[in-house]
A and B are shown apart, each in its own frame.
Chain A
Amino acid sequence: MKGTIVKWNANERWTLWVIAGLGVVCFCFFQLLYPYHFFFKGQNQLFLISWSYVSTMFAKPAWAACLAGEFLTQFYYYEFAGAAILTASLVILYWLAYLALSTLKLGSLKFGRWIVLAVALAITIHEASCHLFYGYILSSTISLIGGLLMFLVLRRVMGYRWPWVLMAVLSGTLLCYWMFGYGVWVFLLLSAFVVWRVTVPVAVAFVCLLPLMRSHFNLNFSDLCQYPGVESFHLPDFLKETDFHMMHSYETGDWDDVVETAEKDKVLNILTEKGSAQKKLIQEAQVSSTVRRFFYNLVQAQRGQLPDVLMNYYPNYLGTFTSMIGTQIPWMIFMNLHEFYYAIGDISRAERGAFMACVSVPTNKNSYTVKRLAECALIRNDQKAAEKFLGLLRQTIPYKDWAEKASCDERYRQKAQFVNLQDTISPSEDSHNIMTQLLMSNPKNGVALDYLLCSLLLKKDIDNFKANYDLYCAAQPRIKKLYQEALCIWLMKQQATEEVWQKYIKDEQIRRRLEEYMTDGVSPRFADTYWYYFDIFNIGGN
C-alpha cells in the first residue's frame, strides 16, 4: 500500500498541483464571493474554553468532530480565517480521500488513477457545496475526515489474519462512531472494499445495534445515522450572502457599508425605481429585500435620516408592524428584531428578542445574541445578569476582549437614558404603543420618534401622524421633506387657513411642488414624494 502511494507521489507530481489548485480555487471563492456566510456560522455557536462546556460534547456521538469543528468555527469571526479553515479542511479531505481510495487497488485498473482522482474530487466538491448552505457545520466535514483517517490508520491491519482484521474493523467502527459520528459509514464502506467478509457482518451488526443507542444519545434512528449532520448538494446563495453582508456590517458598526450595499444592491434597486408599481410583484418574491430594507432603515433611523429615505423603497419594511415576535415572521428578521428594539431603546423587548434569536439557532447558542444580552443587562444596570453573560463571553476567543472592557463602556450608561420607564404590559408587539411609551419616558428619543411617525405614514394614517407630530414636535419642529408633505395632506383635508399652513409648512418649495402636483396630477416625476405614495400605492403587509 505504502509503496504504491510513494510511487504515485514521486511520479505524479500533478496530484499536488490538483491539490494546490483546489486550495486556491476554494480559498478565492469563499473569501471573495462568500465570506459573510462564515461570519454568520461563527456566530451560531458559543464555544467556551471550559471543561464543563467541552464535557457536554460527550453526550452525543462525534464528540471529536464536534469539538474540533466548533473550536475552529469560532475563528470564522475573523476575516480570512473562515475561508482559510474551510479550504484547509477540504484539502485535507481531498488528500485523505485520495490516499484511502489509492489503497483499494483501483490504481491497477486502466484508468484507476483517474477514477481515484475523480472520486476524491467529487467527494470534496460535494462537501464544498454543502458549505454553501448557511446551516452546514464544519464538524460534519471533520466527521468525514475522521472516517477516512480511521480507515488509513487501520488499513495495514486489514492485511493480517482474520482475528486481527475483525478486531480492527470492530474497534474502528465503534471508535469511529464515538469520535466522528456518521464518518463511520465512510470507514465501513472503504473497509468493505478491502475485507468485505469481515466488514459486512460487522456493519450489519452495527446497524442492528444502533437503535439501542437511542436512549443513550437521545437521538432518533435517522439522527443517529447522520450525526452531526448531513446535507445535500447546494448551489451558491448570493442573495443570502448579501443579507449576511448587511447583517455583518451592521453588527460590526460599519454603517456606511450597510447604506452602500443597499444602494448598490440590484435586488433593492431594480425592484424599486422610485415608486414604479409594476416592479411590485417581483419585489414581493424577494424576502431578502425585506431584510436589507430593515437594516438600511435601522441605520438611517439612528443617523436621523429615516424620513429622508423612507420613500426610496416600496413596499418598505420598518419591522414595526410585527404583531408578535414569533416564527411566523421571516427568519432573518426574527433573528434580528432585537436590533430594532435595541436601537429604539426598548430593552425588555431587545432582551426578549435576543433570547428568542438565541433559542432559534441549531445549538440554542448564538454568541452575538449573548453579547446583546450582556448589553441589555448593562443598560438596565443589572450587574448579576451582566456578569452571567460577560462571564460566558470571557471564555470565548472572539469576544474575550470586548467582555473584559464592556462594563466600563460609557455608551451603555448613555443608552440607559432612553429606556422605557412605563410600568405597563402588552400581550402584543403594538409598536405604536411601544414607541409612544419610549417618547413619554424620554421625548428626546429621536429614533423612536421617526419610527413612530414613519410607521404611521406607511400606514397612511395621516390623522394619527398629525396628532403625534403635534405632541412630540411642537416645541422643536422636525422639518423633514417627508413630514412636510404629509402635513400638506392633512392641511388640505382640513381646508386649513393660510395661518395654519404657515405654522406647519416651513419649506416654500414644498408648497410650490404641491401646486405642480395638483395641476399635473399623479406623474412618475413625483415618485419621490409622499403624495405619490399616498395616492398610488395600496398598503402592503409591513
Chain B
Amino acid sequence: MKRKDILTIVASVLLTLLAACTPTPHDVKQSEQEVEIYPDYKDVTIPINIAPMNFVVRDAEAVEVKAGNLTISNSGGNVQFGMRDWRRLVEENDTIEVEVTALKNGRWTAYKRFCWYVVSDSIDSYVTYRLIEPAYSVWNRLQIKQRCVENFDEYALADYNLQENRCMNCHTPSSQNPSLSMMYVRGNGGGAILNKNGHLRKLNIKTPDMVATSTYFQFSPSGRYIVFSANVVVPAVQASAHKRLEVYDTASDIYVADLEKNKIIRSQLLSDSARLETFPTFSPDGKYIYYCTSPKVELPQNYKDLKYVLARIPFDEASGTIGTQVDTLFTERSVCHPRVSPDGERLLFTVQDYGTFPIWHKEADLWMMNLKTCMMDTLKIVNSDMSDTYHSWSSNSRWFVFASKRDDGLYGKPYFCYVDRNGKAHKPFCLPQQVPTFYDDFLKSFNAPELVRGRIPFNAVDVANAMKLPAEPFE
C-alpha cells in the first residue's frame, strides 16, 4: 500500500469520526424567521474573488448550512468554508442560496433562506489598513497591515516593534497601484515614506511656512504629485455621556508636492488664512483637486458651526500649476473625504452635521454624487446608525471599501460595497475572517482602509531601514 493511500484512509477515518461527533438535523422545525448570523452576510453582493464568507450563528449548539450544492455541518455555531470548496461555489453560481439549520436549546430550526449574489466584477485583491485602539489621543503598538481579500493572508507594512513604538499614519496608494504608495511615520526622525516599486524614500514634506506637517494626502494620476493638507489637529472630549470625542482643526491649508523635483506648489486660494482647507484629492484625469473648506470660527466654543463645503480647483499636471477658479459643489451638510471613482463618474464623500472628524460622529454617512448628472445618492442601503466613513475605490470603480462602526459604535471594520453599472449601491459586507468570531475578540479599529490591486512590495523591516535614511527636504 502506498503512503498516499494510507494517508487517505487515515484522513477518511478521522473525518468519519469527526462527522459522527457532529449532530445531524432531525425533527427540524421550518421557520420563516431570518437567522441571526455574524457578520451580517444575508443577501449581500460579493465579488467572485472574495475569501470564504465564514460566519457564526449566535448561540447555536450545532449548525448545518447548505450553500448551493455544498453542505457544511459543525458542532457549535461557526460556519467555515474550505478554500477549494468556496472557490468552486462562487465560480459555478451567480446566486448562492444559503439555508441555515441550527440547533438551539436542543431543537433544530431551519431558518428563512438568504442569498449571496456573486458578481464577476472582481475587487482589488488587497486592502491596507492601520490597526489602532479607539483610544482617543494616546496610542501604543500601532501596525499598518495589508490583507489579501481573496484569502486570509495578512502582512505587516509597518510595525511598532520595528519603529520604536512611533505613531504611524495611513498608507495610501496611487490609483490602487501597489508599486506607488506613501505613509507617514511620525516623531523624532520621522517622515513620509514613499514606495516606488519597493524602493523606499524618506521625505520631509513640511516647509517652514506650513502651519503643520502634512496630514491627509492623495496622489495625482501620474504619480508625480501628491496633494496634501497640513492640519493643526486638536482633540477635545465631549461632555455629554452619549458622545465621545470631537477632533477639529484650528488651522489647515492645502499644498501640492512635486515628488520629482522635491518642490512645494502653493496657491493663495488653498491656504487662505480666513478659511480651513482639508481632505484634498485629485480627479482621476488629474485636472481638478477636490477638497473641503470651511470659514474659520471661534473654537472650541462654536465647533458646531464648522461646516465644510465640497469644492474643486483646476490643476495642470503638465505644468504643475494650480488654477484660479474655485467651484463649490455641495453645501447641504458638512463634507469629509471626497474620493472620485477611477472612471471619473462618481464622487463618494462623507457627510455629517458639522466638523472634520467623522469617525466619532454617529450621523456620519456616505453619500455619492453622479458627476455627470450631479444627482445625489444618500446610499441608504449602505449607511448605518453609526459612523460610516473613510472610503476608497477599487480600481474598476465597481467596489469601494469603507470603515464602519455599525457593530458596536467603537471599533471600525472594513466593509465592501458593490456599485453596479447603473450606479446602484448594494448591501455592504464586512471583511471575511478565517475565524468568524474574530471581530468579537479583537480590540483594534481597522482605520483608513485602502484598496490596492496587488501586494505592496515592501515590509515592516524595509520601513525600519528606510527610517534610518536622512529625510529629503522640500523647498
On A, residues with C-beta under 8 Å from B are 46, 48, 50-53, 55, 214-215, 218-220, 223, 325-327, 346-349, 351-352, 355-356, 358-360, 364-365, 379-380, 382, 384-385, 387-388, 391-392, 395, 416, 419-427, 429, 434, 437
Contact = CB atoms under 8 A, between A and B. Distances in A.
Contacts of B408: 384-385, 387-388
B237 A426 contact: yes
Q: Say which size band chain B's interface belongs to.
A: 35 or more
Given A348-B243, A384-B407, A356 B460 contact: no
Given A52-B438, A327-B138, A358-B135, A427 B241 contact: no
Contacts of A416: 241
A425 B300 contact: yes
Contacts of A46: 443
A101 B442 CA distance: 43
Given A348-B237, A385-B408, A425-B246, 10 more contacts: A52-B441, A53-B441, A214-B162, A223-B161, A351-B244, A360-B140, A388-B407, A416-B241, A419-B241, A422-B240
27 contacts: A218-B143, A218-B156, A218-B162, A220-B464, A325-B137, A346-B241, A348-B237, A352-B244, A355-B135, A355-B136, A356-B137, A359-B138, A360-B138, A364-B133, A365-B443, A382-B242, A384-B408, A388-B440, A392-B440, A392-B443, A395-B441, A421-B240, A421-B241, A423-B238, A425-B246, A426-B237, A437-B239
Interface string B131-167: 0011111111101000000000000100101100000
A218 B159 contact: yes
A214 B156 CA distance: 11
A445 B407 CA distance: 33
Secondary structure at the B interface, as helix, strand, loop or mixed, is loop
Interface string B262-295: 0000000000000000000000000000000000
Contacts of B464: 220
B411 interface: yes
B435 interface: yes
B463 to A, nearest CB: 10
A349 B237 contact: yes
A380 B440 contact: no
A380 B408 CA distance: 13
Contacts, number: 135
A112 B470 CA distance: 57
B161 A220 contact: yes
B235 interface: yes
Contacts of B135: 352, 355-356, 358-359
Interface centre among B238, B240, B461 (most CB of A within 10 A): B240
B162 A426 contact: no
For the complex of A and B, list the 7 residue pairs with the smallest distance between their C-beta atoms, beginning with the closest.
Answer: A419-B241, A218-B159, A347-B241, A427-B236, A355-B135, A425-B236, A388-B408
Contacts of A395: 441
Given A218-B162, A352-B244, A352-B245, A326 B300 contact: no
B473 interface: no
Nearest to A53: B441
A16 to B, nearest CB: 43
A105 to B, nearest CB: 41
B118 interface: no
Contact of B239 (A53, A355, A424): A424
B93 interface: no
Contacts of B407: 384, 388
B459 interface: yes
Contacts of B237: 348-349, 352, 425-427, 429
